Structure 1
Amino acid sequence: MAALILGAVSPSSFAQHGGPGLVTPPVRLDDTWLVDQTGRKRLLSDFLRQGVTALQTIYTGCGTVCPLQGGLFSAVQERIPGIRARHPVQLLSVGIDPLSDSPSALRAWLARFQAGPAWNAATPALTDVDRIRVALSGTRTPLGDIADHSTQVYCFDANAMLRWRSADLPRVNDVCDVLGALART
């Protein structure tokens, strides 16, 4: 169902940032504190160093593209067990509305999409949201408000380096292929 919904949405309707494809050279994001769905405060690098990571930005109150992104990660999650890997593969939804993306809202978000143990959600402090969004985007262009946020997926290797940016609302197969390639290296 999620695949049908994703195919029906025009990707150009949403804010795409940095060009899709390989990130050359790879980028290490500045570390920042995030609060996860359990209420635990953790560094972004702690999440990323747990394995190969697909990261998306969402906000739990979004009623337009974020549910599509949740459906995308749900479909990717189903395929993770089939990915041959040297490194664990995980998903991270980063809430970009810290005023609403509380631990309980993040838990509800994950539950809505039947997230398993390899899928976490976390949100930074309000003062760090734009810094993270700009770092992920690969551009210095002003990003606008959160309603215009990117629907790209960002893939990190096991060394916490950003290696790939998808097009907006990527195909499940594309995300899985990149995660598989990164997980085997």
Structure 2
Amino acid sequence: MFHQKVRKRPESAEPASIRKLTRRALLCDAALATMAMVSLPACAQHGTIGLVSPPVRLDDAWLVDQTGRKQLLSDLLLQRITAVQTIYTGCSSVCPLQGALFSGVQDRMPHLQGRYPVQLLSIGIDPLSDSPSALHEWLARFQAGPGWNAATPTLHDVDRMRTALSGSALPLGNLADHSTQIYCFDASARLRWRSADLPRVDEVCDVLSALGRT
């Protein structure tokens, strides 16, 4: 009966913020429910999983974000606790699941207490297609807020960055077989943790919270 009443209400009577929240929740729930059924590529690049010891500082590189602004990787990471994922905007398989995962983390970010602000960063790994406008549209698809940005490195730097993130010496392989790990950085821009493929939202939040307290 409850659902029938909701359908009869005029859409204009429902606040826009509630409609937006409901849509995001539905997208997130549907995608996360699919994760258990996804067969991940066997050749996806993987390095170590879990705590990165000693911490790794990636070589600096220029990236262009969804607003067209050019920034150094170190400037994007310093003084914040950051969860990083690699995506490409033309992906229709695992990247929507990664977007849903970060959407779930974004919902919990206001409850993460620590010495530094927490942010999410989606790194585009297809510089030929992951333009600022494409990144902007990708973020909008998941209702990304101000604490979730996207940026693309240059064609010269992208493979080096992907290899450093994964910690693996294996060949990168096909773009579609990219890693779906999450990489967490401390406020000194050092890589401190690598997840397994498509980790749980609460697992990522626990790591971000712990890094925020150190």
Shorter-chain TM-score tier: over 0.9
Give the drift of 1:126: 0.7
Distance in structure 1 (CA, Å) of the matches to 2:171 and 2:43: 15
- The superposition leaves residues 134-164 of structure 1 with CA deviations (integer Å, 9 ceiling, x where unpaired) of 1001121111121110000000000000000
Q: Which residue of 1 aligns with 2:206?
A: 177
Distance in structure 2 (CA, Å) of the matches to 1:163 and 1:181: 11
SS in 2 for 1:91: strand
Give the drift of 1:7: 2.7
Give the drift of 1:94: 0.2
Q: Which residue of 2 aligns with 1:162?
A: 191
Q: Which has the larger radius of gyration?
A: 2
Q: Is the 8 A contact 1:34 1:124 kept in 2?
A: yes
- The superposition leaves residues 17-38 of structure 1 with CA deviations (integer Å, 9 ceiling, x where unpaired) of 1121000100000000000000
Of 120, 125, 135, which residue of structure 2 is paired with 1:96?
125
Give the drift of 1:6: 2.1
Of 147, 157, 161, which residue of structure 1 is paired with 2:176?
147
- Stretches of structure 1 lacking an aligned partner (at least 5 in a row): none
The alignment status of 1:47 with 2:76, answered yes or no, reads yes
Q: Which residue of 1 aligns with 2:55?
A: 26
Of 61, 64, 82, which residue of structure 2 is paired with 1:35?
64
Distance in structure 2 (CA, Å) of the matches to 1:116 and 1:168: 24
Q: Which residue of 1 aligns with 2:5?
A: none
- The superposition leaves residues 85-144 of structure 1 with CA deviations (integer Å, 9 ceiling, x where unpaired) of 111000000000011000000000100000000000000011111000110011211111
Distance in structure 2 (CA, Å) of the matches to 1:53 and 1:162: 9
Q: Is the 8 A contact 2:45 2:170 kept in 1?
A: no
Give the drift of 1:13: 5.0
After superposing the two structures, state which structure 1 stretch, 3-12 or 126-135, moved more: 3-12
The alignment status of 1:56 with 2:85, answered yes or no, reads yes
- Stretches of structure 2 lacking an aligned partner (at least 5 in a row): 1-28
Q: Is the 8 A contact 1:20 1:166 kept in 2?
A: yes
| Aligned-pair Cα RMSD in Å | 1.2
Q: Alignment length, in residue pairs?
A: 185
Give the drift of 1:60: 0.2
Q: Which residue of 2 aligns with 1:80?
A: 109
Q: TM-score, normalised to structure 2's length?
A: 0.84
Which stretches of structure 1, 4 residues or longer, exceed 3 Å deviation after superposition?
Answer: 10-14
Q: TM-score, normalised to structure 1's length?
A: 0.96
Q: Is the 8 A contact 1:11 1:169 kept in 2?
A: no
Q: Which residue of 2 aligns with 1:118?
A: 147
Structure 1 residues 16 and 171, CA, compared in 2 at 3 Å: closer, same or farther? farther
Distance in structure 1 (CA, Å) of the matches to 2:42 and 2:35: 12
